[in-house]
Chains A and B, each alone.
Chain A
Amino acid sequence: MTDISSNELVIETTDLVKMYGPHVALEELNLKLESGAIGILGPNGAGKSTFFKCILGLITTTSGHGKVLGYDIRTQGDLIRSKIGYMPEYDSLDPELTALDQVRYSGELIGMNPAHATQRAHEVLEYVGLKDQRYRKTGTFSTGMKQAAKLACALIHDPEILICDEPTNGLDQRSREFMLQTLRNTVEQGNRTVLMSGHVMDDIQEVCDSIVMIYKGKIVVHSRIEELARQVDEEIEISVWGGSSNMQDSLESRGLSVRRLGRIIRVKVESEDTISIILECAVESGVQIRRMGEYEPDLEDIFLLIMDKLGAEVKKTSDLMTSEHTGGANN
């Protein structure tokens, strides 16, 4: 986890509304984001992309106000975009250009002098781990290299805010770790703000200190991850052998709240006697308890819990980790 070194307000919105015809994409967004690493979460169609477009000053908001780094998102979009680096989720590289030329051109499009852009392109390509590959055409790159090249394009002008749209999408484990570490370094060493969206909660948790959860155009959660974890009910996780469903029934008959995933059972801590009750139930059900411990909820649990309470159907990380998502890395 990274430490937020300063508490400057980088993004501030007041009653921000964006409507596409009758459809409300963002509904009265009131947000104050400080510098650091922030995860933007939400199911598909929640309004994450619309939020990014708004803070990039690319679309006209229906009502409300917003400021990014002190610039008005309605009138100073150009200035905002010169201070922000945006890494798109999908391919955004010319396959005929070398990585160096692509990154340099990205810098020139912000207004960098060609000589400075070239020098800086070398630096950022080294930073993202593509120093040896910089003269290769991006069309020959693997998915991980393409993601890194896109990150280099976003970083060339040393932006104050880096927006990453699913930066680990399609990466194998090693490339994913490197990408996350690079983002962490950007926050820690560079003292830059990273806004990161994604569906894989582990990735968000690894980089971000706080999260903003958007659902149906509204902000449902804006909190530090550790504070959020504290708000979630304390649970005891046990691993049982032989008759886990009987064990579940037994625990529920004693009035305990239980979640079961195969042989893993999580029991909500109701009182100091909960552990004793669990042991008694194990004896009654005739099951072995192989492991017992306090369960620390991760971000995915929190996310699923909140979405469940909101009545949203969202996929778990394990559902998302298909070969299509990971580029076959997990197969």
Chain B
Amino acid sequence: MPIISDKIIDLDGGQTRMEAAYGSDDGDEDLFAITAKREASIGAIFEQNYRPWDGDFGPRWVRNYAIFRHHVFGLFTSKGHRNYNPFIRLTILVIFIGAISPIAMLFFSSLFGSDPDGFIDKMWGINRSNLWGQVLGYFPRNLCYWPLLTALVVGGMISDDRRNGTSAIYFSRPVTRVDYTMMKYLSVAVVLGFVIIFSYMSYYTLAIVFKGEGWGFLIDTLPMFLAGLICSIVLVITYTSIGLALSSISQSRFFSAIAFLSIIYGTKLVALLIDLQFETSILYILSPYDCLAHFGQWMLGLELNYSHSLSLSIISIIIMNLVSIFVLISRVSSLEVTRE
């Protein structure tokens, strides 16, 4: 019997079962139920009652939306949703602000009125190069923003379930592996899309508003805008596929993030060195960014920077996506509910 304040307190009948089981401190190994017998003369404060529940379950989309909400809403508030480190959230915010920074320049230029040299228009106005650059420009977007954004979002997206065993929570419920994979994919794609595609659309829309352009300008530039939009969608899909595939093959957030950055930067660097040494751009078909940039240049009618055939880049994008999705599906199918 524990001794408290020089008095022997009889715990028999005095402790609550709840406290007896788990206590209210760090662990249940150093447990002392100190609820005094005098205060709980009967001793059964905690009465365990099983309460039935007869509510209805929502359909498949309700379950899927729960997965989506858990991952996407977590970026805005970790309360009740997946926890993203504040540093990750802050970095994503900075990337988003960086992505929409041309809008601010257009806004300020609209305040100044005339632009006789056409400098502002050339730098930030709507034209083929700027629309391409808003999505596929190398610096800073594809050197800093998009790869880092993807790495931060996909890190832990599936690897956490493998590490923590939380895959059992999904698959012991009526969540199929297809639903699980699709919702994880959609969650990543929506976050990337929000930053990449939304910033692109905002840029185009607000540029028209700030510069007071008319219907003629809109009709002239709309095909370019749509071409850029398609490129941004392909970029989001490709980065999501590669990132999630990497997340599915490991138990570490760090691995998937670093592996993604390594693929994006590594392939680019190797292809660049080969290009400089042997004056051939063929190795750029290994670089996801360059394949997308090549495709984007063709879509927006820009002069092509690459000497190899465009079809090789397009085939490469398709293969990268297919291989990534194959890896993703096969790894998700290996996630266990019961461990052998």
Binding site for B on A (CB under 8 A): 49, 52-53, 56, 58, 77-79, 81-82, 84, 86, 88-97, 101, 104-106, 108-114, 116, 120, 123, 127, 129-133, 140, 142-145, 148, 153, 156-158, 165, 172, 174-175, 177-179, 181-182, 185-186, 189-190, 192, 327-329
Contact = CB atoms under 8 A, between A and B. Distances in A.
Interface string B113-138: 00000000000000000000000000
Interface in B43-79: 46, 48-55, 57-60, 62-63, 66-67, 70, 78-79
Give the 6 A-B residue pairs with the shortest CB-CB distance, closest first.
A111-B57, A178-B21, A86-B172, A96-B83, A108-B66, A190-B50
Interface in B156-201: 160, 164-176
Contact of B22 (A78, A101, A133, A177): A133
8 contacts: A90-B165, A109-B63, A109-B67, A110-B174, A127-B50, A148-B22, A157-B57, A178-B17
A132 B51 contact: no
Contacts of A189: 49-50
A110 B173 contact: yes
Given A82-B174, A131-B18, A174-B21, A88 B168 contact: yes
Nearest to A109: B173
B173 A158 contact: no
Given A81-B173, A82-B174, A108-B63, A186 B21 contact: no
A4 B63 CA distance: 34
Contacts of A175: 21-22, 28
Contact of B29 (A86, A129, A328): A328
B63 A144 contact: no
A92 B168 contact: yes
Contacts of B49: 127, 189
A174 B20 contact: yes
B279 interface: no
Best-buried of A129, A157, A185 by chain B (most CB within 10 Å): A129
State the majority secondary structure of interface residues on B: loop
Contacts of B53: 120, 123, 156-158
Interface stretch (B255-263, B269-277, B332-340): B332-340
Nearest to B27: A142
A95 B82 CA distance: 10
B12 interface: no
B209 interface: no
B322 interface: no
B41 interface: no
Contacts of B52: 158, 190
Given A142-B29, A165-B338, A111 B62 contact: yes
Given A111-B59, A113-B58, A185-B48, A144 B173 contact: no
Given A106-B173, A110-B173, A56 B20 contact: no
Contact of B17 (A114, A129, A156): A129
A165 B172 CA distance: 12
A92 B173 contact: no
B299 to A, nearest CB: 40
B55 A129 contact: no
Contacts of A144: 21-22, 28
A192 to B, nearest CB: 8
A113 B28 CA distance: 33
Contacts of A131: 18
B28 A52 contact: no
Which has the most chain A C-beta neighbours within 10 Å: B52, B164, B171?
B164
Given A148-B22, A185-B48, A185-B50, A93 B63 contact: no
Contact of A132 (B24, B167, B337): B24
Given A109-B175, A328-B29, 13 more contacts: A86-B337, A94-B160, A96-B83, A109-B63, A127-B49, A132-B18, A133-B24, A140-B26, A158-B54, A174-B20, A174-B28, A175-B21, A192-B50
Interface string B296-318: 00000000000000000000000
A113 B338 contact: no
B55 A52 contact: no
B48 A112 contact: no
A56 B174 contact: no
A104 B80 contact: yes
Contacts of A96: 78, 82-83
B31 interface: yes
B170 to A, nearest CB: 6
B338 A142 contact: no
Contacts of B67: 109
A156 B67 CA distance: 17
Nearest to B29: A172
Given A92-B165, A109-B66, A145-B28, A78 B58 contact: no
Contacts of B165: 88, 90-93
